[in-house]
Amino acid sequence: MKALILSGGKGTRLRPLTYTGAKQLVPVANKPILWYGIEAIAKAGIKDIGIIISPETGEEIKSVTGSGEKFNAQITYILQSEPLGLAHAVKTAADFLQDSPFVMYLGDNLIEDDLAHFLSHFQSKSLDSLILLQQVPNPAAFGVATVDNRGKVLALVEKPEHPPSNLALVGLYFFAPTIHQAIANIEPSGRGELEITDAIQYLISHGYGVESLQLEGWWLDTGKKDDLLAANQIILDSLVKKSIQGTVDHQSKISGRVTIGPHSQIINSVIRGPVAIGSHCHLENCFIGPYSSIADSVIIRDADLEHSVVLQGASIVAIQQRIVDSVVGKNARISPAPRRPQALRFLIGNDSQVELIGPPS
């Protein structure tokens, strides 16, 4: 059994953060989104992992993620020259996959459920494909399945104008080698891509065994800012435990589940968990509210922050209003202008600088 993680694409919905970096490496609770998928796959006992990368961000993903040793797995990187669809990614990975069954995982998705349960179902029933579904309020934005009362998949359609059900395809699929034959027999869709839904529909139409299971836990597609913040909140709620490795002075107050990395300094500040703070940070005269993640080497001074994600090397200094529901990119700087602004809400890309300008006098 192998795994194929899709980590290409251009991340247009998370721009400007992804102009200069891979969307799958944007951190959730101070860990790259991609790593959660790798860890889930390795936990299920699948150690031979291929990762689809793009020319734009592939080297960054390889550098950050490495050979797989930190995950007790072996990682092979596979270049997809253009983002021509999920089925095209499988076709690109044919030499890696060979005749092995595999799980395909979209690298910007987060799933609470344990993959081992799904893997066991797929293997015990000798299926050609097992797809994972979840009920959603807006099925027209997803691939949608029609299933019978036993979970057998009857039909699939990609982003339908009139959805036949509210069962959306989650970014997790199990395939037997027969999927390669299916992909060889489909044509690009109207948007010029080889759709995995078309390949699965080929299997269904030709009598192959395709079943579904519905997720019991949460599923998050972190492709947009609000989704990223929601994922950060859920992960902090689920995983963060109190751990203080940095230094906290006597004037500071720490409450709830807060992690503070090595060599970080907390001075005259209030931190209310769940909060994750990386290493080599300097926080002084500030309030850090629940559901905030602060990466390594961040400076926050004379500022309040809540329900936000701050990436590595950013600086937030002397901001009078509380910053909420914001994502601040790597090495971005937020500093005040002489006049007080009316409100603050940010999506700030890597290496940005922001100066707050008040209304004219």
> For the chain, what are the domain ranges?
2-235, 241-355
**86/237 Cα distance (integer angstroms):** 32
* CA separation, residue 112 to residues 39, 216, 220, 235 (Å): 12, 8, 9, 9
**Tens of pLDDT, residues 19-28:** 456 778 888 9
- Contacts with 95 (C-beta within 8 Å, 6 or more apart), sequence order: none
**Tens of pLDDT, residues 277-335:** 999 999 999 999 999 999 999 999 999 999 999 999 999 999 988 999 998 988 989 98
Max distance between CA atoms of the chain, in angstroms, equals: 73
Instruction: Identify whether the C-beta of residue 326 lies closer than 8 Å to the C-beta of residue 348.
Output: yes
pLDDT class for 222, splitting at 50, 70, 90?
Answer: confident
pLDDT at 62 over 90: yes
**Tens of pLDDT, residues 243-266:** 999 999 999 999 999 999 999 999
**34/51 Cα distance (integer angstroms):** 10
**48/331 Cα distance (integer angstroms):** 35
Query: Could you tell me which of 348, 255, 254 has the C-alpha nearest to residue 264?
Result: 254
pLDDT class for 159, splitting at 50, 70, 90?
Answer: confident
pLDDT class for 273, splitting at 50, 70, 90?
Answer: very high
pLDDT class for 13, splitting at 50, 70, 90?
Answer: very low
**Tens of pLDDT, residues 137-149:** 888 888 899 999 8
Residue 240: predicted pLDDT = 77
Tokens of 256: 């709830």
**Tens of pLDDT, residues 65-121:** 999 999 999 999 999 998 899 999 999 999 999 999 999 999 988 888 899 999 999
Residue 11: predicted pLDDT = 46
Instruction: Identify whether the C-beta of residue 288 lies closer than 8 Å to the C-beta of residue 306.
Output: yes
* CA separation, residue 273 to residues 43, 256, 281 (Å): 28, 5, 17
154 vs 238: which has the higher pLDDT: 154
Residue 355: predicted pLDDT = 65
pLDDT at 339 over 50: yes
Pairing, β 219-221 against β 109-111: antiparallel
**Tens of pLDDT, residues 173-213:** 999 999 999 999 999 988 889 999 999 999 999 999 999 99
Is the model's pTM score more than 0.85? yes
Instruction: Identify whether the C-beta of residue 34 lies closer than 8 Å to the C-beta of residue 7.
Output: yes
Q: Which CATH superfamily is domain 2-235 in?
A: Spore Coat Polysaccharide Biosynthesis Protein SpsA; Chain A (3.90.550.10)
**79/46 Cα distance (integer angstroms):** 21
Q: What is the 8-class DSSP label of residue 1?
A: -
Residue 227: predicted pLDDT = 84
Collapsed DSSP state (helix, strand, coil) of residue 26: coil
| Domain at 241-355: CATH code | 2.160.10.10
